[in-house]
Amino acid sequence: MTVGFRILKRTETASKELVEAFAKLPVANVSDAMSRMTAAGPSLRPMHASGGMAGVAVTVKARPGDNLMLHKAIDMAVPGDVIVVDAGGDCTNALMGELMLAHAINRGVVGFVIDGAIRDVDAFVETNLPTFAAGVTHRGPYKDGPGEINVPISLGGMVINPGDIVIGDADGVLAVPMADAEEILRKTEAKQEAETRQMEAIKAGKNDRTWVDAALTKLGCALPE
């Protein structure tokens, strides 16, 4: 098997129950539960109209400007999949547009993350399939390969393995490793509950702000008398 030009089977995936649980949570809170050490970078922005994304990763490593392996990944996808493409962040050529989007919707794909460009943006807005990309260009792709499917990839330093949970909202994209998903879910739900209580205190005018001056004092900041 040729490294750099191969297609592998996805051997395991996160459970449907875990995906559904993460779909209810803000990406920012999940990120906090992962110690704020994981991110795909600020260049990956929503190209759809609104709403969040949660699904199981099919990973694609593509040569910049070439979408042959992305075509194959869509053909391989099953309902509930998010297709994540490492195309090196190159936006010279669009990797997908309206026709591929329609085919993906028929296959049950629930989202795309493309570290590269798309085109036919109006179709992404109209269909509102969650799609995060690095840019937009009218220039079309090549279809020559090479590339890989279902191998570990990295977007902005964030590692995604096939089968990981991939979530996204207006704040960006995050991959949750399968092995740690249950622990991360527990921590995120606890944070969500704490933030709910804090918001209630803010609305009631009872939010405790003494920690601000305490932190400044501890750091040696001179405060007014």
Is residue 62 one of the residues assigned to a domain? yes
Domain around 75: 6-178
Determine whether the annotation assigns residue 36 to a binding site: no
Same domain membership, residue 87 and residue 33: yes
Counting Cβ atoms within 10 Å, is residue 57 exposed (0-12), middle (13-18) or buried (19+)?
buried
Q: What is the pLDDT of residue 225?
A: 83
> What Å distances lie between residue 50 and 21, 37, 165, CA to CA?
19, 26, 20
pLDDT of residue 13: 96
Number of domains in the chain: 2
Q: Are residues 96 and 156 in the same domain?
A: yes
Question: Would the pLDDT of 1 be above 70?
Answer: no
Q: Does 146 sit behind a cis peptide bond, omega within 30 degrees of 0 on the bond before it?
A: yes
Q: What is the mean pLDDT of the chain?
A: 97
Residue 105 covered by a domain: yes
Residues 10 and 81 reside in one and the same domain: yes
Instruction: Flag whether 98 is marked binding.
Output: yes
- Residue 138's domain is classified under what CATH number? 3.50.30.40
Check whether 183 is labelled as a binding-site residue.
Answer: no
Determine if residue 32 is labeled as part of a ligand binding site: no
Model pLDDT for residues 92-140, shown as the tens digit of each residue = 999 999 999 999 999 999 999 999 999 999 999 999 999 999 999 999 9
The answer to the question of residue 1 being in a domain is no
Nearest to 65 by CA among 103, 117, 101: 117
Q: Tell whether residue 97 is among the known ligand binding residues.
A: yes
Which residue is associated with the tokens 């207006």? 170
